[in-house]
Structure 1
Amino acid sequence: MSELQQVMALRACGFIVFRRLGQPTPPPDNIEYLLLQTSYGEHHWTPPKGHVDPGEDDLTTALRETREEAGLGEEHLHVLDGFFQELRYEVQGRPKEVLYWLAELRDPKMAVTLSAEHRDYRWAKLEDACSLARYKDLQDTLRAAQQFLDTQQGKH
């Protein structure tokens, strides 16, 4: 990619937001992922994410977009150390990169409040989330998140 293309690349940041349901469900079956359905285009399902504003750092963007799109702010989320995914693909002939961190919803009963950008949301277990996600790179990211959480579970 040329320097000009890199400057022209679209950049977005967001969170793979998950919640742990109460017992007696054993891990990893107690983990659900948040996906939002866009109100535009093909109405695809995606985690909360959005474009970086000028002068804004990536993590701040992820937090801002998650608050704007799902009504979940920094006070509602616990960002996990050690998980970071970078996706690269093309949108309408332009390169795009999306950065994802992993965040747990502190209160699993917390309500999601959608912005006008989305028309629906769903909490879904891994395989259902992958079916909704449709794109292989996002499915791989969700599976990587699950694998990371499974590894973390073994450390407790």
Structure 2
Amino acid sequence: MDHVIALRACGFQPPPDNIEILLLQTSYGEHHWTPPRGHVDPGEDDLTTALRETHEEAGLGKDHLRMVDGFLQRLHYPVRGKDKEVLYMVAELCDLNTRVILSEEHQDYRWAKLKEACELAKYQDLQDTLTAAQRYIETDGKQ
């Protein structure tokens, strides 16, 4: 399983036009754009993995993030003949001045509003997940 913390929102209950999504561009393969994510280490729970991977890939640790409770989206798709599951969660960046520090796995990053994030993400299931996450934030979890 992969896990991710995908969104940055400006303020505790941000207006929809201030929501930005963190996407990282891989430095390998097709150079695709995704939120931070990675494989679960033995003994880790989902949240621990999401926080660790976000810190490793973007330099954003648990001191930089505030979890948005209640949103969890699962994606399933084949990779090299095997089923892959990715869990997406949502967190807000506590301090908007916090810098993203990329790992060697990525060559670029972007904080993007939903329309641009969906254009960069390209895959329909990820676009649907980003849209659902934004809707969840906009409605304060009351969908």
Q: How does 1:65-80 map to 2 (within 5 A)?
A: 65-80=53-68
Q: Distance in 2 between matches of 1:134 and 1:122?
A: 15
Moved over 4 A (4+): none
Matched pairs, number: 140
Q: Distance in 2 between matches of 1:96 and 1:153?
A: 27
Equivalent in 83, 87, 104 of residue 116 of structure 1: 104
SS at match of 1:34: strand
Gaps of 5+ in 2: none
Q: Distance in 1 between matches of 2:9 and 2:108?
A: 18
The question of 1:20 aligning with 2:17 is answered: no
Question: How far off is 1:108 after superposition?
Answer: 1.3
Q: Which has the higher strand share?
A: 1
Q: How does 1:71-150 map to 2 (within 5 A)?
A: 71-150=59-138
SS at match of 1:33: strand
Q: Which has the higher helix share?
A: 1
Counting aligned pairs with the same residue, the percent is: 65
Gaps of 5+ in 1: 1-10
Q: State which structure, 1 or 2, has the greater radius of gyration over its C-alpha atoms.
A: 1
Does structure 1 retain, via aligned residues, the 8 Å contact 2:2–2:87? yes
Does structure 1 retain, via aligned residues, the 8 Å contact 2:70–2:141? no
Question: How far off is 1:27 after superposition?
Answer: 2.1
Q: What is the Cα-based RMSD across aligned positions, in Å?
A: 1.5
Question: How far off is 1:19 after superposition?
Answer: 2.9
Question: How far off is 1:59 after superposition?
Answer: 1.1
Q: Which residue of 2 aligns with 1:4?
A: none
